[in-house]
């Protein structure tokens, strides 16, 4: 802009402005806009899908496997493959070119090295025997702070590392579900029926007491009756990652936010915060996975409360800016009052009945700086560090252009083919998410080890 030109908001003609204006929008206008978005979304989401309309995961090269996935030197890797014809041999695009493998094949190779290779190497990630899956929730009521990105990347890193992962999407926006190519028709393929089932069991127990007192039982409506037949396994879907499964979300899941308080009014004794934990436990899901990641909506509603109380590790992403720090502080304040009021309610009743009191407990709670720009935010990040101390994860996840830049069907660093990027950009982008995972894994292993030692000392 030359200095002689007026700023763009001067000299706007009302008549010209009117000419550009469309007629007012009514309610139906939203439907039209939504329709246009759905059309666009489906077109975009359809790109890069296979013939069955499913997502597929890219292949992994020998370079990537030996650098990032299995701790073995490339020459040794090739030798072991040559000597064991029954192992996956990979495929190459040109004669004598680099060999590429599916993740399933990588997992088989890793299992082979773990069984046959040097016992001093970490071919398989640590996990105490018989330990239940660790549940990790990612939450912050501030929107757009990187919850879903962090959650998805941690899940993918953990899967590449050899863990078996279940994702639970509690956000009716369904971003995590899109990332993993989930197909969700309605609320019956979300956690909704699981929560309903938990409530239905409470109502049945209440009704038994009503009958014992000679009172009329409350009827179970169609929704509750049907929910009684749903098991977690029925709604878990496979994804294009061989070792990541998904419980998806969709707009209708939001209905739970209205339904849950109605149920709670009807049955005061319903421990709604235990619903998700109890159902996962009762259905044996926690024995079938190593890690469960829960992505939550940017709100502290009933679904988030359920996710947070099921979680043993709570991660709270935030950007290193004043506004995000400020609102994250309020989020912790809300967590305190929400869980305290649940504890008070429960413990008042428990004391009256002479029963033991309850209290929520998390193995670890960590704030995680995301989208960090070292050039602009070092001072703010330092301040946040000073105020939060050990609650802040030691690693700051950098802002990286790799996110959002990859193709429509590709989500994040681990799904992207490194050949599509400048090697330097790729290496730096990947490093920041690898470090985010390393900080998380340190936390996880510490917690698992603590439990393992406790079990040993109890047994001995």
Ligand X SMILES: Nc1ncnc2c1ncn2[C@@H]1O[C@H](COP(=O)(O)OP(=O)(O)OP(=O)(O)O)[C@@H](O)[C@H]1O
Residues that bind ligand X (CB under 6 A): 143-149, 171, 175, 298, 370-371, 397, 399-400, 403-404
| Minimum distance of Mg ion from residue 10's CB (angstroms) | 40
Site string for Mg ion, 170-189 (x = CB under 5 A): -----x--------------
**Would you say 90 or 174 has its CB closer to Mg ion?**
174
No. of H helices and E strands in the chain?
17, 10
Calpha distance 195→90 (Å, rounded): 44
Least separation in angstroms between CB 103 and ligand X: 23
Sites for Mg ion among residues 191-220 (CB under 5 A)? none
> Using CB under 5 A, which residues numbered 334 to 373 contact Mg ion?
none
Q: Which is nearer to Mg ion, 148 or 277 (CB)?
A: 148
Tell me if 160 sits within 8 A of 414, measured CB to CB.
yes
- Cα atoms found within 13 Å of the Cα of residue 91, Cβ hemisphere only: 5
Identify what 400 binds: ligand X, Mg ion, none; CB under 5 to 8 Å per kind. Answer: ligand X
- Pairwise CA distance, residues 14 & 173, whole Å: 39
| Minimum distance, C-beta of residue 373 to ligand X, in the bound complex (Å) | 9
Q: Closest distance between Mg ion and the C-beta of residue 117, in Å? A: 39
CB 376 → Mg ion: shortest distance, Å?
24
Judged on CB neighbours under 10 Å (0-12, 13-18, 19+), 271 is middle
Query: Which listed residue (147, 197, 198, 371) binds Mg ion by CB under 5 A?
Result: 147
Instruction: Specify the residue for token string 């190519």.
Output: 181
Window contacting Mg ion (CB under 5 A); options: 39-47, 140-148, 263-271, 352-360: 140-148
Closer residue to ligand X (CB): 45 or 80: 45
**Can you tell me the distance from the alpha carbon of 222 to that of 352, in angstroms, rounded to the nearest whole number?**
35
Total binding residues for Mg ion by CB under 5 A?
3
User: Binding partner of residue 404 among ligand X, Mg ion, none, CB under 5 to 8 Å per kind?
Assistant: ligand X
C-alpha atoms less than 13 angstroms from C-alpha of 21 in its C-beta half-sphere: 9
Q: Select 147 or 153, whichever has its Cβ closest to Mg ion.
A: 147
Nearer to ligand X, 243 or 400 (CB): 400
Q: Tabulate helix, strand, coil % of the chain (nearest 5).
A: 55, 10, 35
Closest CA to 392 of 349, 352, 443: 443
Which CB, 198 or 371, lies closer to ligand X? 371
The only residue of 61, 140, 148, 232 in contact with Mg ion, by rule CB under 5 A: 148
Q: How far is 172 from 134, CA to CA, in rounded Å? A: 23
Give the phi and the psi of residue 60 in degrees, each rounded to 5: -120, 135
> H-helix or E-strand containing 291?
strand 291-295
| Residue (147 or 197) nearer to Mg ion, CB | 147
Minimum Å gap between C-beta 168 and Mg ion is 13
**CA gap 49, 56 in Å, rounded:** 7
Among 293, 289, 285, 170, CA closest to 231? 285
Query: Closest distance between ligand X and the C-beta of residue 63, in Å?
Result: 24
The residue ranges that bind Mg ion (CB under 5 A) are 147-148, 175
């Amino acid at each position: 802009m030359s200095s002689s030109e007026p700023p763009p908001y001067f000299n706007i003609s009302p008549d010209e402005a009117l000419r550009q204006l469309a007629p007012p929008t009514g309610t139906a206008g939203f439907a039209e806009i939504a329709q246009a978005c759905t059309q666009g979304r489906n077109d975009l989401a359809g790109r890069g899908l296979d013939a069955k309309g499913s997502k597929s995961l890219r292949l992994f090269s020998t370079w990537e496997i030996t650098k990032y996935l299995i701790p073995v030197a490339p020459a040794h890797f090739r030798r072991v493959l040559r000597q064991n014809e029954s192992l996956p041999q990979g495929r190459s695009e040109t004669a004598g070119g680099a060999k590429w493998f599916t993740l399933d094949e990588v997992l088989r190779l890793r299992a082979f090295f773990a069984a046959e290779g040097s016992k001093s190497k970490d071919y398989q990630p640590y996990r105490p025997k018989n330990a239940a899956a660790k549940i990790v929730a990612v939450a912050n009521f501030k929107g757009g702070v990187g919850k879903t990105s962090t959650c998805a990347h941690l899940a993918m890193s953990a899967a590449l590392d050899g863990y078996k992962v279940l994702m639970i999407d509690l956000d009716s926006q369904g971003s995590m579900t899109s990332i993993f190519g989930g197909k969700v028709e309605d609320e019956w393929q979300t956690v909704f029926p699981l929560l309903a089932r938990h409530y239905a069991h409470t109502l049945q127990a209440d009704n038994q007491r009503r009958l014992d007192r000679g009172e009329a039982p409350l009827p179970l409506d169609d929704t509750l009756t049907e929910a009684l037949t749903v098991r977690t396994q029925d709604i878990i879907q496979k994804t294009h990652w061989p070792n990541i499964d998904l419980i998806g979300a969709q707009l209708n899941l939001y209905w739970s936010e209205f339904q849950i308080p109605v149920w709670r009014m009807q049955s005061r004794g319903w421990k709604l915060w235990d619903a998700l934990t109890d159902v996962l436990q009762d259905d044996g899901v926690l024995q079938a996975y190593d890690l469960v990641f829960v992505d939550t909506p940017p709100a502290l509603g009933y679904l988030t409360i359920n996710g947070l109380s099921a979680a043993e590790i709570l991660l709270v992403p935030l950007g290193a800016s004043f506004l995000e720090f400020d609102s994250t502080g309020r989020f912790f304040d809300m967590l305190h009052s929400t869980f305290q009021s649940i504890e008070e309610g429960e413990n008042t009743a428990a004391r009256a009945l002479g029963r033991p009191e309850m209290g929520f407990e998390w193995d670890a709670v960590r704030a995680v700086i995301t989208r960090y720009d070292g050039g602009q935010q070092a001072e703010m990040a330092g301040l946040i560090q000073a105020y939060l101390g050990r609650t802040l994860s030691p690693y700051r996840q950098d802002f990286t252009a790799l996110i959002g830049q990859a193709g429509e069907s590709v989500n994040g660093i681990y799904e992207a083919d490194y050949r599509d990027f400048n090697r330097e950009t790729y290496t730096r982008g990947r490093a920041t998410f690898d470090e985010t995972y390393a900080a998380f894994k340190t936390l996880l292993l510490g917690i698992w080890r603590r439990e393992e030692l406790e079990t040993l000392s109890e047994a001995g």
